[in-house]
């Protein structure tokens, strides 16, 4: 993130342009949050999908495999139509 945005924010605050300052501050926070999130995701992907995201994906894979293996089990059931 470049310092020009912070300088612009300070100028807006000094000049009492509150509405523009709020909008710029929001943009700065969103941009920084996005950088942090992308960094966290890159770290998790770099670990071979480790961490919480990897654990969740592993659980989903196990459940999907279990569902795929159990697809034919109900085919052999017979029902009485009394």
Tell me if 36 is assigned to some domain: yes
- Domain span holding position 35: 3-69
User: How confident is the prediction along the chain (82 residues), in pLDDT tens digits per residue?
Assistant: 678 999 999 999 999 999 999 999 999 999 999 988 888 887 766 555 556 667 777 777 777 777 666 655 555 555 565 5
Tell me if 21 is assigned to some domain: yes
Name every residue whose Cβ is closer than 8 Å to that of residue 19 and which is 6 or more positions away in sequence: none
Tell me if 78 is assigned to some domain: no
Tell me if 76 is assigned to some domain: no
Give CA–CA dist 7/4, Å, rounded.
5
pTM for the whole structure: 0.50
Tell me if 74 is assigned to some domain: no
Confidence at residue 45, expressed as pLDDT on a 0 to 100 scale: 62
Is-contact 51 44, C-beta < 8 A? Answer: yes
Domain total for the chain?
1
């Amino acid at each position: 993130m470049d310092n020009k945005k912070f300088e612009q924010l300070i100028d807006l605050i000094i000049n009492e342009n509150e509405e523009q300052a709020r909008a710029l501050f929001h943009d700065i926070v969103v941009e920084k949050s996005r950088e942090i999130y992308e960094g966290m995701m890159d770290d998790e992907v770099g670990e071979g999908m480790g961490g919480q995201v990897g654990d969740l994906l592993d659980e989903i894979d196990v459940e999907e495999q279990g569902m795929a293996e159990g697809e034919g089990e109900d085919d052999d059931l017979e029902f009485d139509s009394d």
